[in-house]
Amino acid sequence: MDVKKVYVQANALLEGHFTLSSGNHSGYYLQSAKVLEQPSTAKMLADALAQQIRISGLQIDTVCAPALGGMIAGFALAQALDKRSIFAERVNGAMMIRRGFDIRKGEKVLICEDIVTTGGSAMEAANAVTALGGEVVGYAALANRGFCGREGSDITRKVNCKLSAELPLFALADFDFEMYAPESCPLCAGGSQAIKPGSRNN
Ligand code: ZN
């Protein structure tokens, strides 16, 4: 499956010249929720990710997603794996498991995001699971922005990756886009003007 093409066709990955929320410029802009707006596309991506996880032999009981970003991907993946689906959410800045979701001692939990950038939210969700006695066994995402290493890719882990280095990350693709400071942006140098398609780069 050409995951990048799936994103482009869903208008979830825009190509052009963009100003990101960080102020950097890029030739790409990700609007990751857009790829999941068609349930058939979400199912196709989740099935492919589930297949990768099954082949690895990793045992899991539950998929936990950090809200809001990971919720739809997490549910779709749990459905594909026929596992329980829960989510963690931020309460006054701290990621917590609420809504009556129980985690039993030693329960094997896979943390699922839509896109892993540095993995900050995934790591916070993992900590919330661990605090309740669960065992985090790995991470999953539809795509990896290239800061963290993943199974089946030779992209190396960067210093700003926040995920545990000992646990596997499963993802369908690397979206390892170049970012440029405005003053050294080759797209600006080429004479085009950067646009800001959304208020945040996620
Ligand atoms: Zn530029």
pLDDT at 32 over 90: no
Q: What is the pLDDT of residue 197?
A: 80
Taking the centre of ligand 1 as the mean of its atom positions, its distance from the CA of residue 145, in whole angstroms, is 20
Task: Let me know if residue 165 belongs to a domain.
Answer: yes
Counting every residue written for the chain, the total comes to: 202
Lowest-pLDDT range, 62-71, 77-86, 138-147, 189-198?
Answer: 189-198
Taking the centre of ligand 1 as the mean of its atom positions, its distance from the CA of residue 5, in whole angstroms, is 23
Q: What is the pLDDT of residue 120?
A: 93
Taking the centre of ligand 1 as the mean of its atom positions, its distance from the CA of residue 95, in whole angstroms, is 35
Task: Let me know if residue 74 belongs to a domain.
Answer: yes
C-alpha to C-alpha distance for 29 and 87, rounded to whole angstroms: 26
Q: What is the pLDDT of residue 200?
A: 47
Task: Let me know if residue 84 belongs to a domain.
Answer: yes
Q: Could you give the dihedral angle defined by the CA atoms of residues 49, 50, 51 and 57, in that order, rounded to the nearest 10 degrees?
A: 120
C-alpha to C-alpha distance for 63 and 140, rounded to whole angstroms: 9
List the CATH number of the domain containing 143: 3.40.50.2020
Q: What is the pLDDT of residue 175?
A: 94
**Domain span at 43:** 38-176
Burial environment of residue 90 by CB neighbours within 10 A (0 to 12, 13 to 18, 19 or more)? middle
Taking the centre of ligand 1 as the mean of its atom positions, its distance from the CA of residue 117, in whole angstroms, is 21
What percent of the chain has pLDDT above 70? 98
| Token digits of residue 23 | 């102020």
Taking the centre of ligand 1 as the mean of its atom positions, its distance from the CA of residue 144, in whole angstroms, is 23
Q: Looking at the 3D structure of the chain, how many domains does it have? A: 1
The pLDDT tens digits for 168-199 are: 999 999 999 998 999 999 999 999 999 988 65
Q: What is the pLDDT of residue 198?
A: 60
| Residues 48, 52, 53, 57, CA torsion sign | positive
pTM over 0.95: no
Taking the centre of ligand 1 as the mean of its atom positions, its distance from the CA of residue 12, in whole angstroms, is 20
Taking the centre of ligand 1 as the mean of its atom positions, its distance from the CA of residue 2, in whole angstroms, is 27
Give the Cβ contact number of residue 30 at 10 Å.
Answer: 25
Taking the centre of ligand 1 as the mean of its atom positions, its distance from the CA of residue 17, in whole angstroms, is 6
Taking the centre of ligand 1 as the mean of its atom positions, its distance from the CA of residue 10, in whole angstroms, is 24
Classify residue 36 by its DSSP letter: G
Q: What is the pLDDT of residue 201?
A: 45
Task: Let me know if residue 162 belongs to a domain.
Answer: yes
Q: What confidence category does residue 22 fall into, taking pLDDT thresholds of 50, 70 and 90?
A: confident
Classify 47 as helix, strand or coil.
helix
Taking the centre of ligand 1 as the mean of its atom positions, its distance from the CA of residue 146, in whole angstroms, is 21
Taking the centre of ligand 1 as the mean of its atom positions, its distance from the CA of residue 27, in whole angstroms, is 8
Give the chain's largest Cα–Cα span.
58
Taking the centre of ligand 1 as the mean of its atom positions, its distance from the CA of residue 181, in whole angstroms, is 8
